[in-house]
């Protein structure tokens, strides 16, 4: 069960204490990281992980300090919902994500390759000339999710994302503070998710992008088996057959997508596939398998609003077709990487 918000707010002082302790003990930590690196694969993996961990901790503290300043400037929280306050929060988030991604790319020599044509609102020289967007992405772990949100917010796209994500992610202090101040939806058990997603999509503007992960969870063989079993128990024979053919993704759940597209019929749709960090879901995964000197791939497909089906049955079939396309792209990309 998620701790109440007042309890979660205690992590702020704890993070400051951890950062101070890390700085004081940095010489000792560096020696330990060097020794540990001898037994870890890759070049100086322990030192790289230490540097990234200290950077992440420093960005957490800086972000929380900035959030406190923004709270004061908003009239001690009275005007947090104002357009100016929202814009300021998005700007701070963009700067923090940009710093985090740049550090990750430099420390671990990660290269990002984007396939497909850009849908940037700056492409035609007229900022803001494109439409509102609903972005439907595969769910492949926090690393790829950070990468996607950073791509939506960076200088090339300048979007203000609204994200549908699990409530447990509120255990991260920055996510907890910033995303609860901005229009987002944390999915929890017993809550009518599709209705909340529809409400989140209803007033999407030209600068907004609603980000949904239709699979609902990271892919694992066990989750794939359970998802197929649920479809089989519901008697959805065609969906079972199509889900069994998917090799790298879970079958999509159409309810939230349907609610979003019905609430925002004016929105264009972007499908997103990405691969490279999907095996990093836990701290243990990062310790054992953090990639270095690796290429990360990102691919999107843009569909204008008038090409999106509106009938529920057609929309479900359309969503499965796109998930099959994403699955095929992941297979092809991995084969090219290993060739």
Helix (H) or strand (E) holding 226: helix 221-233
Say what the pLDDT of residue 66 is: 97
In this structure, the strands spanning 208-212 and 133-137 are parallel
The CB-based long-range contact list for 60-67 (8 Å cut-off, 24+ gap) reads 60/15, 60/173, 60/174, 61/15, 61/16, 61/19, 62/96, 63/92, 63/93, 63/96, 63/174, 63/177, 63/178, 64/12, 64/15, 64/173, 64/174, 64/177, 66/92, 67/92, 67/177, 67/178, 67/181
Helix (H) or strand (E) holding 287: helix 283-289
**Secondary structure (3-state) at 335:** helix
Give the count of domains, the chain. 1
**Tens of pLDDT, residue by residue, the chain (339 residues):** 788 888 888 888 899 999 999 999 999 999 999 998 888 777 888 898 899 999 999 999 999 999 999 999 999 999 999 999 999 999 999 999 999 989 988 888 888 887 765 555 444 444 444 689 999 999 876 667 788 888 888 876 778 999 988 888 898 999 999 999 999 998 876 566 898 899 999 999 988 999 999 998 888 889 999 999 999 999 999 999 999 999 999 999 999 999 999 999 999 999 998 876 665 555 565 555 555 667 788 888 989 999 999 899 999 999 999 999 999 999 998 888 776
Query: Reading across the β-sheet that carries 133-137, which strands appear in turn?
Result: 111-115, 295-303, 268-275, 133-137, 208-212, 160-166, 185-187
Which residues, other chains included, contact 281 with Cβ-Cβ below 8 Å and sequence gap of 6+?
141, 142, 218
Report d(CA 256, CA 263) in Å as an integer: 11
Query: Domain limits at 60?
Result: 5-338
> Which residue bears the tokens 């479809």?
231
Show the CA angle centred on residue 36, arms to residues 32 and 42, nearest 5°: 135
> Taking the C-alpha atoms of 20, 173, 289 and 29 in order, what is their torsion angle to the nearest 10 degrees?
10
165, 279, 148: which is closest to 213 by C-alpha?
A: 165
- Other C-beta atoms within 10 Å of 320: how many? 19
Say what the pLDDT of residue 179 is: 95
Report d(CA 49, CA 3) in Å as an integer: 28
Helix (H) or strand (E) holding 277: none
């Amino acid at each position: 069960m998620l701790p109440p918000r007042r309890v979660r707010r205690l992590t702020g002082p704890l993070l400051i204490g951890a950062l101070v302790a890390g700085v004081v003990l940095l010489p000792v930590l560096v020696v330990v990281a060097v020794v540990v690196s001898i037994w870890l694969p890759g070049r100086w993996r322990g030192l790289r992980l230490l540097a990234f961990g200290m950077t992440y901790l420093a960005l957490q503290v800086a972000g929380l300090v900035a959030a406190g300043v923004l709270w004061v400037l908003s009239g001690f929280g009275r005007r947090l919902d104002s357009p100016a306050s929202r814009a300021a929060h998005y700007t701070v988030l963009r700067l923090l994500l940009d710093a985090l991604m740049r550090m990750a790319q430099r420390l671990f020599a990660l290269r990002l390759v984007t396939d497909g044509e850009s849908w940037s609102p700056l492409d035609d020289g007229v900022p803001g000339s494109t439409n509102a967007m609903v972005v439907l992405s595969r769910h492949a772990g926090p690393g790829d999710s950070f990468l996607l949100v950073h791509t939506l917010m960076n200088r090339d796209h300048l979007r203000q994302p609204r994200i549908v994500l699990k409530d447990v992610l509120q255990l991260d202090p920055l996510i907890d503070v910033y995303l609860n101040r901005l229009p987002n939806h944390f999915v929890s058990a017993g809550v009518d998710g599709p209705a909340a997603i529809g409400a989140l999509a209803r007033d999407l503007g030209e600068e907004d992008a609603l980000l949904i992960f239709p699979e609902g969870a990271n892919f694992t063989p066990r989750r794939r088996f359970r998802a197929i079993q649920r479809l089989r128990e519901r008697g959805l024979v065609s969906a079972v057959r199509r889900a069994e053919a998917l090799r790298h993704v879970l079958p999509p759940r159409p309810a939230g997508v349907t609610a979003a597209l019905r609430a925002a019929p004016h929105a264009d749709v972007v499908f997103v596939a990405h691969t490279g960090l999907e095996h990093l879901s836990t701290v243990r995964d990062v310790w054992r398998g953090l990639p270095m000197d690796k290429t990360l791939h990102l691919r999107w497909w843009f569909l204008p609003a008038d090409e999106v089906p509106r009938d529920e049955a057609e929309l479900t079939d359309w969503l499965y077709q796109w998930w099959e396309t994403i699955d095929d792209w992941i297979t092809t990309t991995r084969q090219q990487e290993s060739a």
